[in-house]
């Protein structure tokens, strides 16, 4: 077992609410306060059993202890997944004086952006979610994972890995259409896979840029990646706290509900509301999304 110290403002229960938002989720399981997550590190399958105790995440390895290197990689994944390296003080200070964020932040304080550390997963999940409702997006993802992902069954439970880009790079559009992807989405997903096989597109390369605008411009040049998808990926995978998917329908609904509006806010109204969020847009959006899950 390893122990990962959590920062001062960390609320595991709130993170669990987010992780448990879909009953079609198969990339992790939540049971009795534990999160189970299968990873492949250093060529070995590693099952994590994560809980929270004594201001730390406790990570157990039910399938047996992996090598020390693999344990380190797993710990890195967890830090990344729960955004543990971030100091949220600035966000809370900003939100304190924001009429819309204040109640949301006080309600869910300690929630962190639950990320998607794998770039391929972040990009393709975002593509799957374009234009359709979340329920159907999860249906698509479930089929995608069950068809192309690797799995292991342990103690009566089956755990899945997200498919890899080299696997998807070699399939055809029609194969994804069978899973009810639109032809366009199938092309986008396969296109992204092939760009990653080339090595031109990688998380490492994107993180080297370390400038919001440069990453955004690079991503939106890829077919199927518009502004919303670029911001979503920067927010969920690249730790860009200034990423702002301002056209997001979920954001619009959350704002409408928070402000008691009968209609959705306009783009100009959103820009005005968010004027003070500078540098914390991603967290503002994530907390507003959280407000939609009861």
Any idea which residues carry the catalytic annotation? Answer: 248
Q: How far is the CB of 39 from DNA (least distance, A)?
A: 21
> According to DSSP H, which parts of the chain are helical?
12-19, 68-81, 89-96, 101-108, 119-128, 134-148, 165-168, 173-178, 183-198, 203-209, 212-220, 227-236, 249-259, 267-273, 281-290
Q: How many whole angstroms separate alpha carbon 14 and alpha carbon 21?
A: 11
Q: Which residue has the tokens 């997006």?
A: 137
From residue 68, alpha-carbon distances to 41, 63, 74, 238 in Å are 11, 15, 10, 26
The pairing of beta strand 2-5 with beta strand 56-60 = antiparallel
| Residue 180 binds DNA (CB under 7 A) | yes
Cβ atoms of 266 and 83 within 8 Å: the answer is no
DSSP type of residue 240? -
Cβ-Cβ contacts under 8 Å for 219 (sequence gap 6 or more): 206, 225, 229, 230, 233, 234
Q: Which is nearer to DNA, 182 or 258 (CB)?
A: 182
| Residue 145 binds DNA (CB under 7 A) | no
Q: How far is the CB of 255 from DNA (least distance, A)?
A: 12
Q: Which is nearer to DNA, 202 or 220 (CB)?
A: 220
What residues between 101 and 140 interact with DNA by CB under 7 A?
129-137, 139
Q: Which is nearer to DNA, 10 or 138 (CB)?
A: 138
| Residue 42 binds DNA (CB under 7 A) | no
Using the rule CB under 7 A, which residue among 185, 196, 201, 284 binds DNA? Answer: 185
| Residue 179 binds DNA (CB under 7 A) | no
Q: Which is nearer to DNA, 11 or 139 (CB)?
A: 139
Using the rule CB under 7 A, which residue among 28, 49, 109, 184 binds DNA? Answer: 184
What residues between 211 and 230 interact with DNA by CB under 7 A?
220, 222-230
| Residue 247 binds DNA (CB under 7 A) | yes
Cβ atoms of 180 and 171 within 8 Å: the answer is no
Using the rule CB under 7 A, which residue among 2, 250, 258, 269 binds DNA? Answer: 250
Using the rule CB under 7 A, which residue among 144, 232, 277, 287 binds DNA? Answer: 232
Q: Which is nearer to DNA, 70 or 237 (CB)?
A: 237
Total residues interacting with DNA, rule: CB under 7 A: 38
Q: How many whole angstroms separate alpha carbon 141 and alpha carbon 97?
A: 39
Of 40, 277, 29, 247, nearest to 126 by C-alpha is 247
Interface with DNA (CB under 7 A): 129-137, 139, 177, 180-185, 220, 222-230, 232, 236, 245, 247-250, 252-253, 264, 289
């Amino acid at each position: 077992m390893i122990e990962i110290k959590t920062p001062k403002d960390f609320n595991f229960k709130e993170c669990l609410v987010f992780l448990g938002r879909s009953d079609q989720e198969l990339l992790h399981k939540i049971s009795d306060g534990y999160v189970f997550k299968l990873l492949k590190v250093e060529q070995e399958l590693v099952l994590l059993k994560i809980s929270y105790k004594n201001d730390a995440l406790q990570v157990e390895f039910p399938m047996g202890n992996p090598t020390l290197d693999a344990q380190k990689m797993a710990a890195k994944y967890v830090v990344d997944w729960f955004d543990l390296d971030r100091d949220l003080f600035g966000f809370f200070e900003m939100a304190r004086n924001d009429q819309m964020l204040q109640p949301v932040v006080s309600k869910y304080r300690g929630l962190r952006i639950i990320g998607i550390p794998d770039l391929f997963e972040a990009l393709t999940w975002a593509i799957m979610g374009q234009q359709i409702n979340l329920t159907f997006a999860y249906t698509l993802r479930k089929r995608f994972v069950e068809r192309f992902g690797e799995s292991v069954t342990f103690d009566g439970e089956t755990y899945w890995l997200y498919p890899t880009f080299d696997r998807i790079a070699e399939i055809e559009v029609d194969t994804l259409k069978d899973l009810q992807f639109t032809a366009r989405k199938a092309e986008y997903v396969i296109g992204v896979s092939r760009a990653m096989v080339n090595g031109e597109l990688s998380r490492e390369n994107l993180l080297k840029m370390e400038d919001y605008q440069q990453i955004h411009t690079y991503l939106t040049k890829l077919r199927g990646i518009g502004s919303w998808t670029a911001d979503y990926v920067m927010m969920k995978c690249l730790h860009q706290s200034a990423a702002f998917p301002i056209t997001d329908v979920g954001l619009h609904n959350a704002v409408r509900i928070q402000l008691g509006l009968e209609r959705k806010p306009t783009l100009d109204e959103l820009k005005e509301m968010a004027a003070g969020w500078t540098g914390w847009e991603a967290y503002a959006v994530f907390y507003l999304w959280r407000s939609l899950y009861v």
